[in-house]
Amino acid sequence: MRDAVTTLIRTYDITGRYFDRDAIDRLKAYFDTGMARVQAAAVINANASAIVKQAGSALFEEQPELIRPGGNAYTTRRYAACLRDMDYYLRYASYALVAGDTDVLDERVLEGLRETYNSLSVSIGPTVRGIQIMKEIVKAQVSEAGIADNGFLDQPFDYMAGELAEKDI
């Protein structure tokens, strides 16, 4: 698992280059948002179950067919599995926020998820929408916590949603 710093070093090392102005600017941006990233992760940690519950409720309100007979969240077991998966996405999004890098998402979430959803014939659209809803909730809670500089919050959620949406699962 890499973070923004090790990813940048690796990129420059592979090409045999010294850090240029762009690299220094990227490092500065990462460190300038470091405290806000940690604070955002703390907000997520303190409210994770409520975030997942609220996002699940919003998703099922928007797409009630998911919890009707034949839907992917129909039955208590499937409903619980859906919320469990949303919790995974949220947890790994918090890791990626702190790391300032999406590598952990590829490594720990997206690869295995594709295979699992393929084997279970799970529709990816509601998953993507659930991730987007969680992003909206997290942004609101982080703002309410007084963390004004939170532009970095979009990155892990948008990355997961984009990667999943681009794949034919």
Query: Are residue 132 and residue 50 in the same domain, yes or no?
Result: yes
Between the alpha carbon of residue 34 and those of residues 37, 54, 146, 150, the distances in Å are 5, 27, 15, 11
Shared domain for 96 and 132, answered yes or no, is yes
Residue 169 has pLDDT above 70, yes or no: no
- Residue-number span of the structural domain to which 20 is assigned: 1-32
Residues 72 and 8 placed together within one structural domain of the fold = no
Name the amino acid, one letter, at 5: V
pLDDT in tens, 14-28: 999 999 999 999 999
- Round the average pLDDT of the chain to a whole number and report it: 93
- Of the two residues 161 and 121, the one the predictor is more confident about is 161
- Residue entry with tokens 């992003």: 135
Q: For residue 123, what is the domain's CATH number?
A: 1.10.490.20
Do 102 and 113 share a domain, yes or no?
yes
Backbone angles phi, psi at 126, to 5 degrees: -65, -30
Mean pLDDT of 95-119: 88
Alpha-carbon gap, residue 152 to 5, rounded angstroms: 15
